[in-house]
């Protein structure tokens, strides 16, 4: 007797990343709360996912990425309408820049895929 096997083929998600699952939940909840603009720091897949689903939900997205980020990833982010800011230095420098930007206040919500529980 065989067993039934199920596979989760994440590469079939719209951005080809498993990060789409959490991003859809996070941005849906933020949209319900009236958030209209998000900031994400990412070196690739997370930023592409936030850019994609923010666009789908009518939310403006700014993605901060290390200046060493793959051009293919930044093109993917921009293709969804996100503003991409390349930050000199390490991945940590990018996260620090995002925290500092968010700390200035305003309507921009820091939608970090690393910090959210979704």
- Domain locations in the chain? 15-110
> Which residues does 48 contact at the CB level (< 8 Å), separation at least 6?
15, 17, 42, 73, 76, 77, 80
Q: What are the residues whose beta carbons fall under 8 Å from the beta carbon of 77, sequence distance 6 or more?
A: 47, 48, 51, 61, 63, 65, 84
DSSP-assigned beta bridge partners for residue 115: none
Q: What is the pLDDT of residues 20-78, one digit of tens each?
A: 989 999 999 999 999 999 999 998 999 999 999 999 999 999 999 999 999 999 999 99
pLDDT in tens, 81-114: 999 999 999 999 999 999 888 766 667 889 887 7
> Could you tell me which CATH number the domain at 15-110 has?
3.40.50.1100
Strand order in the sheet with 83-87: 83-87, 60-66, 37-41, 109-110
Q: Can you read off the two tokens belonging to residue 87?
A: 């930050």
Verdict on whether the full-model pTM lies above 0.75: yes
């Amino acid at each position: 007797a065989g067993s039934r096997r199920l596979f989760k083929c994440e590469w079939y998600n719209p951005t080809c990343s498993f990060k789409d699952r959490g991003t859809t939940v996070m941005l849906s909840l933020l949209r319900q709360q009236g958030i209209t603009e998000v900031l994400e720091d990412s070196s690739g897949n997370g930023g592409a996912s936030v850019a994609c689903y923010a666009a789908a939900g009518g939310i403006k997205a700014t993605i901060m990425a290390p200046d060493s980020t793959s051009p293919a990833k930044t093109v993917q982010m921009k293709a969804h309408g996100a503003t991409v800011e390349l930050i000199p230095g390490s991945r940590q420098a990018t996260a620090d820049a995002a925290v500092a930007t968010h700390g200035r206040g305003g309507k921009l919500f820091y939608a970090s895929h690393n910090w959210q529980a979704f």
